[in-house]
Structure 1
């Protein structure tokens, strides 16, 4: 091999070595570039992953909030349903209690009517009490006072006239036990003069007319609806007695409140109403300390 060929071969080898080194260097750069690309891709994926995690966490928080709201709504619905049930039970109990109260009132009314009917029977069996004129301090009343029986009764009234000189009396009648013994079941006689003026209205029931439950509950007095009471009315006497068993001790008071007595001037120029109180069981009687006087 000549010198020229030898140089060409060496240059060729040198160039081959150069290209090998160059290729190796490029290969290193390529590997570095690939690693860089992979790293960048990983970082990019990591950022996306973190973003996805944040989004999922937000979504999870929203779901938790929604679940809490639904739970609260469910609790409110359960509470509302429970309140409705409780209210329903309370209304049912109130309805039952009202029915029980109505039945109790009806029972009480029937018991009062039974007692009143028994009283009417006793009245029918009792001889007619008749009051004669006697002074307040009559000697006949003294023995009763000594036994501790003493009742003071009186009218408190006003007379109201209309334009045609008719009108009515409005007032109350009071009984006061000023003795030492207990008084029982007073019978009151209102005596009208003239007899044609005999009329009395107020909170007084008549068992003949079958009074309502309210009338029975609101009333204290009843008319004595028997044969001799009707005859007494013809001569100007109106008799009433307690609707229920009545006792009042020493110092106690009893009253007939807000009665009305209508009158007409065409009947008579002077009208008087006296009152007498009779305690049948104790055989004691007393005249009211005053009377009603109407003058035209």
Structure 2
């Protein structure tokens, strides 16, 4: 091999070694570049993931707000619906209660009427009281004496005149138990002279007239509408008795309040009204300590 050829071969070997080193260096750079690319891709992917996570979190918050709003609306609707139901239930209960109250009032009225009718039947079975012992012209006659039983009965009244000597008597009648025994269910007789003046008005009902519930509730007294009471009325006697069972002990009072007796002067020159009280069960009777007298 000549010198020239030897130099060419050495150059070639040198160049091959150079290119090998260069190639190795490039391979290293390529590996580093690939690693860098992979790292950057990972970082990029991580950034995207974070953005996605952030976006998802925002959507989650928005959805939670929507859920809260919907929950509030649902609660409001439920509360409103519940209030409407409660109101409807309350109205229903009120109507039922009103109906029950009406039924109770009707039952009370029927019971009062039954008791009053029973009382009227008992009155019809009762014989007419006789006041012969008290029927005298002496206004200061002593009432019947009976051991344990005693009462004071009297009028408190005023006379009101209108035109042409017409008018009315307005007053109250009181019964006070001044004895030691209990008295029950007084029958009161108002005796009018002349008989044509017999008229008594006030809070007194007649069972024959079918009184209303209000009248039954407000009234204490009733007319004795039996056969002998009607005949007594022709004689100028007006009989009344308590509408309900009435018991008053020693010291108790019973009254007929705010009665009215209309009158006119054409009947007679004077009008007199006396009162007698009869306790059927106790068989005790008495006369009022005063009377009403009008002179024209």
Classify the TM-score, shorter chain: 0.7 to 0.9
**How far off its partner does 1:64 sit?**
5.0
Matched, 1:255 2:255: yes
Matched, 1:43 2:43: yes
Q: Give the match for residue 133 of structure 1.
A: 136
Q: TM-score w.r.t. structure 1 length? A: 0.78
Q: Give the match for residue 192 of structure 1.
A: 192
Q: Is the alpha carbon distance of 1:63 and 1:166 closer, same or farther for their aligned partners in structure 2, counting shifts above 3 Å?
A: farther
For this pair of structures, how many residues does the alignment match? 293
Contact 1:172 1:256 in 2 (8 A): yes
- Give 1:21-60 correspondences, 5 Å limit: 21-60=21-60
Matched, 1:245 2:245: yes
SS of equivalent residue, structure 2 residue 175? strand
- State which drifts further: 252-261 or 58-67: 58-67
Q: Is the alpha carbon distance of 1:62 and 1:197 closer, same or farther for their aligned partners in structure 2, counting shifts above 3 Å?
A: farther
SS of equivalent residue, structure 1 residue 117? helix
Contact 1:136 1:287 in 2 (8 A): no
- Give 1:172-191 correspondences, 5 Å limit: 172-191=172-191
Q: Give the match for residue 119 of structure 2.
A: 119
- State which drifts further: 232-241 or 55-64: 55-64
**How far off its partner does 1:155 sit?**
3.0
**Where in structure 2 are there 5+ consecutive unaligned residues?**
none
Q: Give the match for residue 225 of structure 2.
A: 225
Q: Distance between the aligned counterparts of 1:90 and 1:174, measured in 2?
A: 48
Contact 2:200 2:259 in 1 (8 A): yes
Q: Distance between the aligned counterparts of 1:2 and 1:50, measured in 2?
A: 71
**How far off its partner does 1:93 sit?**
6.0
Q: Give the match for residue 276 of structure 2.
A: 276
**Where in structure 1 are there 5+ consecutive unaligned residues?**
none
Q: Give the match for residue 203 of structure 1.
A: 203
Q: Give the match for residue 6 of structure 1.
A: 6
CA-atom RMSD in angstroms: 3.5
Q: Is the alpha carbon distance of 1:40 and 1:163 closer, same or farther for their aligned partners in structure 2, counting shifts above 3 Å?
A: farther
Q: Give the match for residue 153 of structure 1.
A: 153
SS of equivalent residue, structure 2 residue 149? coil
Contact 1:151 1:176 in 2 (8 A): yes
Q: Distance between the aligned counterparts of 1:259 and 1:184, measured in 2?
A: 22
